[in-house]
Amino acid sequence: MNPEAQALYEDMKIHLGKFVPDFELYYKAEIAVEINALKKERNAVILGHNYMEPVLFYSIPDFKGDSLDLSRKAATTDKDVIVFCGVKFMAETAKILNPSKTVLLPAEKAGCSLAESITAEDVRALKRKYPGVPVVTYVNTYADVKAESDICCTSGNAIAVVESLKSDTVIFLPDKYLAGNVARETGKHIIFPSISPSPIIASSGGEMRKGDEENLLDVQLIGWNGRCEVHEKFTVEDIRAVRKQFPDVAVLTHPECPPEVVAEADYSGSTNAMIKFVQQSNAPHFLVLTECSMGDNIAAANPEKDLLRLCMVRCPHMNMITMENVRDSLLHNRQVIEVPEEIRVRAFQAVDRMIKIG
């Protein structure tokens, strides 16, 4: 093993040795050294989402964080190449913000169930149905959907973005549960209109089957039926079962979880906000209901904290990003993300407005 890889292995052993077997640390330390050399050669920056697997997350990103953080980093980088260790909509956002840079996504098929739940034509249909109503889209959407929107949001700033519009009614797409949680927090009523794939009406986060939503007088959020295939799987029963065994556990949820799960938890926030909560809280145990690599990453960074595992769901899309394909993306310049200029310019306005709100 070369000395650089040996030093990296020893460092990773200290921080990740509880989660990752030695042979994997050895193997990946050598790849990390190759990646770091390629990064220099290509004048590249590597952005790593909080859901990356622990060794990759620990060893190669120049910047780590949630979608909003990484969008901000992407907007200010002076490097020629951006390698996005995340999923396609994130790499597209980096390209939207940096049209002159080469943006690489190491796994071509790293998608997202939320991004795939809605098309630009769906948004245009909603705008025809509700003319003049502003459209907020979650950043977990593709560029052509962002281009149809007035402003984007992340899970961390969704409420601030909705409130910034100062509009009685807002179209909020595409995450049904994030919309439900925004409605719950703000006391707004929400409908999921009939052009949605599976019509449902909900009020303040609680659902009822569709009647005639046009008769509702106080509609304030118009949602969509998209769901994160990871966060939708957590249940209230999961939380109650863990509390039975660990009554003093602090339960943290992501706002992409169903509203009743969020209501049962002690705290809900973006991935970054959850990390901060764990760092600042003295709770004897933590249960973090989100993508399971993030639990490992928080535990690695906070060895004095007791992170309980309810790791039943690894995001299959995030899981496609590996050390090997990050190295190959730099080596062979793949997969290059392109966004047609006409779409990019309109999507940029929506993303830029979001970044300015913070």
Q: Which residue ranges make up the site for ligand SF4 (CB under 6 A)?
A: 87, 112-114, 140, 228-230, 291, 315, 317-318
Report the C-alpha gap between 47 and 356 in whole angstroms. 21
Smaller CB separation from ligand SF4, 140 or 149? 140
Smaller CB separation from ligand SF4, 91 or 200? 91
CB of 318: closest distance to ligand SF4 in angstroms?
6
CB of 114: closest distance to ligand SF4 in angstroms?
5
Smaller CB separation from ligand SF4, 230 or 300? 230
| Residue keyed to tokens 């960074």 | 301
Q: What long-range pairs does 166-169 form, CB within 8 A, spacing at least 24? A: 167/133, 167/134, 168/220, 169/130, 169/133, 169/219, 169/220, 169/221, 169/222
CB of 346: closest distance to ligand SF4 in angstroms?
23
Burial of 154 (0-12, 13-18, 19+ CB in 10 A): buried
Smaller CB separation from ligand SF4, 62 or 229? 229
Sequential DSSP letters for 126-177: HHHHSTT--EEEESSS-HHHHHT-SEEE-TTTHHHHHHHT--S-EEEESBHH
Contacts of 286 (CB under 8 A, 6+ apart): 249, 250, 251, 252, 278, 298, 305, 306, 307, 308
CB of 17: closest distance to ligand SF4 in angstroms?
27
CB of 12: closest distance to ligand SF4 in angstroms?
25
**Token pair of 203 as six digits:** 């009020």
Smaller CB separation from ligand SF4, 38 or 145? 145
Give φ, ψ of 185 to 5 degrees.
-70, -35
**Token pair of 172 as six digits:** 């909020």
Which residues are bridge partners to 253 per DSSP? 268, 289
**Token pair of 22 as six digits:** 């030695």
CB of 208: closest distance to ligand SF4 in angstroms?
26
Report the C-alpha gap between 132 and 171 in whole angstroms. 10
Triad 85, 255, 167: Cα angle to 5°: 110
Smaller CB separation from ligand SF4, 283 or 321? 321
CB of 10: closest distance to ligand SF4 in angstroms?
32
Report the C-alpha gap between 233 and 33 in whole angstroms. 37
CB of 256: closest distance to ligand SF4 in angstroms?
6
Smaller CB separation from ligand SF4, 134 or 226? 226
Report the C-alpha gap between 48 and 67 in whole angstroms. 10
Smaller CB separation from ligand SF4, 65 or 134? 65
